[in-house]
Structure 1
Amino acid sequence: MNKIPAREGWNWVKRGFALFRKQPLGLAALFFGYVLITVALGLVPLVGKLLSYLLVPMFTVAFMQGCANAEAGKRVHPGLLLTGFRSPHSATLFKLGMVYLLLAVLAIAASTLVDGGLWLQILLNQVEQEAIDPKTSSVGAAILFTAFAQLVTFVLLAFTGPLVHWQGMGVGKAVFYSVVGIFGAAKSFAVFALAWFGISAIIGQVVALIFGRTQMFQTVLIPVSLIYTIAAFCSFFAVYCTLFGAPEAEPAKPVAADEA
C-alpha cells in the first residue's frame, strides 16, 4: 500500500461533499430508507435491534454502490437498498453482519464494568430506566462507553462490506484489510476524523449564534446536520477508492427491443 499523506484526509472530506452535490436526492433517499428500516426494526423489542446490526453490511454496500453510481454519473435510486441482498456474496455479507452483532454484544457486555450491569438490565427490560436516578447511577457513563466502543468498531469495519461485495473477500480477509487499511493511513484518517468533528462543532456554533437557543435553532440544525451526515457517509467512499481502488457503478439495465 502506498504511503498516503495526511492532507488526503481533508481531500476525502471535500470529495464527500462533492459526491453528495452530484445526486443529493438519490443519496438522501438511500440514507433515509435505511433509517426508516432501522426505526421499524427498533419497534420489535430486542430482536429488532439485533436484526439492525445484521443489516449494517447490507446498508454499507447499498450506500457505497450509490456513491459509485453518483461518481460515474449514473442514477442513484432507492432500489439500491437491495444491492447487498442481490449480491453474489450475500451469504458472506450476512456472516459479516454476525460479526457486527457479536462486537455490539461484547461492547454492551463490557459496559457492565462501568455501571455493574444496569444498562444491560435496562436493555433486557429487567429494570425500568425511569426508576434509576441519573445523579447517583453510572448508566450514562455506560451508555457513552457502549456508543464509543460501537463507533470505533463500525469505523474499523467500514470497508468490510464493500470488500466482500466488490472484491469477493471472505469475512476474515475483509476485516483484516479494512482494519489494516485504516491503520496504514492513520495520519490521513486522523485529519479526516478531526475535520468532521470540527465541521460538526462549527456548524452547531454558527447556527446557535444566528438563532440562539430557540426553537428555530433545532429547526435549522436538524436538516443541516442531516446534510453533513450524509456527506460524511459519502466521504467514506472516497476513502475506499484511495485505499482499495475505485469500484464499478451499477450496470445500466438493458433496453428492451420494443423500447429502442
Structure 2
Amino acid sequence: MRLNIVPARTGMQWVREGIRVFFRMPLAFAGLFFMFLAATVVLSIIPVVGDALALMMIPAATVGLMAATRQALDGRFPMPATLLAAFRQSPRQTRAMLALGALYAAALLLIMILSASLDDGQLARLVEKHGGRLTPDLMADPALQQAAQASMRQMLVGSLLYVPVAVLMWHAPALVHWHGLPVGKSLFFSAVAVLRNTTAYLVYGLGWAAVASVGWGALLIVAAVLGNIGLALSGLLPLSVLVASMFYASLWFTFRDSFAADEPAPVESIDHG
C-alpha cells in the first residue's frame, strides 16, 4: 500500500462521483442509509450504554456503505447484508474494527461532555418555556441572544474538537477492512493521507456544503412560492437523508484515490549458465 497525493480539484471529483453512483441505484443507497440510521436509533434506546453502542457501530457501518458503492460500480445491487461487510473478514480484523468503534465512541462522548460545559441548557429552557416555538415573546426576550451565543460557542468548540477525530478516523476503518492494518497503523496512515491531501479534502467538504445549501435553498424557494412553510419543514428530513446518502456513497472514492496497492515486485531472472 502506498499513499497518493492528489490535486485539490479531486475533491470536487469525489463529490460528483458520489452523486453519480448514488443515482445509479438511489433506492439502494437511501435504503441502506436509512437502515443505518434506524439501527443507531434502536441501539441508543438501550439504557446506559445505548448511545455508546450506537456511536461504536459508525466506523463499521461506514465500511458497509463504502462496500455498497463498490458493488454499485460493478453493476450489482447492494443488499442490506452489505452493511455488515466489516464483520465478515478475519477475527483479527473484526476485533480491530470493534476497537476503532470503541475509540470513536469514547472520543465523541468526551467531546460532547467538554462542549456541553459551555452551554447550561438556557436556550432549550427558553424555547420550552414558550411552548417549543419561536414566538414573538421569545424573540423579544433579552436572554435569547445570550443563550444563542452560548449555544453557538458549544457547537463551534464541538466542531473544532471533532476535526482531529475525523482526520484520524476518516480512512482507518477502510484500512483495517481492505488492507488488514492494525488499529494504530490505520489511524496513523489515515491522518497522513488526509493531511497530505488537505486541499482536496477541503474542496470536498466545501463541495458537499454547496450541495446541501443548494438543496435546502431550493426547498425554501418552493415553499415560499407555494406559501407553505410547512412544506419546507416536512421536506427537511428527506432532503437531509438524500444528501447524507450521496455523501456516504462518495466515501469510497476518497479512499480509492488516497491509497494504492503496492505493485508486485518484478521477478528477477537468474542466470544459471
Match of 1:218 among 226, 233, 240: 233
The equivalences for 1:20-39 within 5 A come to 20-39=22-41
Q: How many Å separate the matches in 1 of 2:56 and 2:238?
A: 28
Deviations, residues 167-204 of structure 1 (Å, cap 9, x unaligned):
00001111111111111111111111111111211221
Partner of 2:183: 171
Match of 1:41 among 36, 43, 51: 43
Q: How many Å separate the matches in 1 of 2:4 and 2:171?
A: 18
CA 1:210 to 1:151, structure 2 compared with 1: closer, same or farther past 3 Å?
farther
Match of 2:20 among 5, 18, 21: 18
> What is the CA-CA distance between 1:152 and the residue it aligns to?
5.6
Aligned residue pairs: how many?
A: 236
Deviations, residues 123-153 of structure 1 (Å, cap 9, x unaligned):
xxxxxx6499884653563355335533662
Match of 1:96 among 64, 87, 100: 100
TM (norm. structure 2) is 0.77
Equivalent residues of 1:57, 1:93 under 8 A apart: yes
Report percent identity of matched pairs.
Answer: 26
> What is the CA-CA distance between 1:224 and the residue it aligns to?
2.7
The equivalences for 1:66-145 within 5 A come to 66-88=68-90, 89-111=93-115, 114-115=118-119, 118=120, 130=125, 135=144, 138=150, 141-143=153-155, 145=157
Match of 1:183 among 185, 190, 195: 195
Partner of 2:133: none
Equivalent residues of 1:29, 1:77 under 8 A apart: no
> What is the CA-CA distance between 1:76 and the residue it aligns to?
0.3
Counterpart AA for 2:102: M
CA 1:44 to 1:144, structure 2 compared with 1: closer, same or farther past 3 Å?
farther
Q: Tell me the C-alpha RMSD between the 2 structures.
A: 2.6
CA 1:33 to 1:151, structure 2 compared with 1: closer, same or farther past 3 Å?
farther
Q: How many Å separate the matches in 2 of 1:39 and 1:112?
A: 21
> What is the CA-CA distance between 1:155 and the residue it aligns to?
5.3
> What is the CA-CA distance between 1:236 and the residue it aligns to?
1.4
Partner of 2:269: none
Q: How many Å separate the matches in 2 of 1:50 and 1:233?
A: 21
Match of 1:233 among 237, 248, 253: 248
Q: How many Å separate the matches in 2 of 1:2 and 1:47?
A: 39
Equivalent residues of 1:60, 1:158 under 8 A apart: no
CA 1:155 to 1:231, structure 2 compared with 1: closer, same or farther past 3 Å?
farther
Gaps spanning 5+ residues in structure 2: where? 130-142, 262-273
Gaps spanning 5+ residues in structure 1: where? 120-128, 247-260
> What is the CA-CA distance between 1:27 and the residue it aligns to?
1.7
The equivalences for 1:192-203 within 5 A come to 192-203=204-215
Match of 1:158 among 167, 170, 174: 170
TM (norm. structure 1) is 0.81
Equivalent residues of 2:4, 2:259 under 8 A apart: no
Equivalent residues of 1:9, 1:192 under 8 A apart: yes
Equivalent residues of 2:52, 2:106 under 8 A apart: no
Q: How many Å separate the matches in 2 of 1:245 and 1:14?
A: 21
Q: How many Å separate the matches in 1 of 2:165 and 2:80?
A: 27
Counterpart AA for 2:196: G
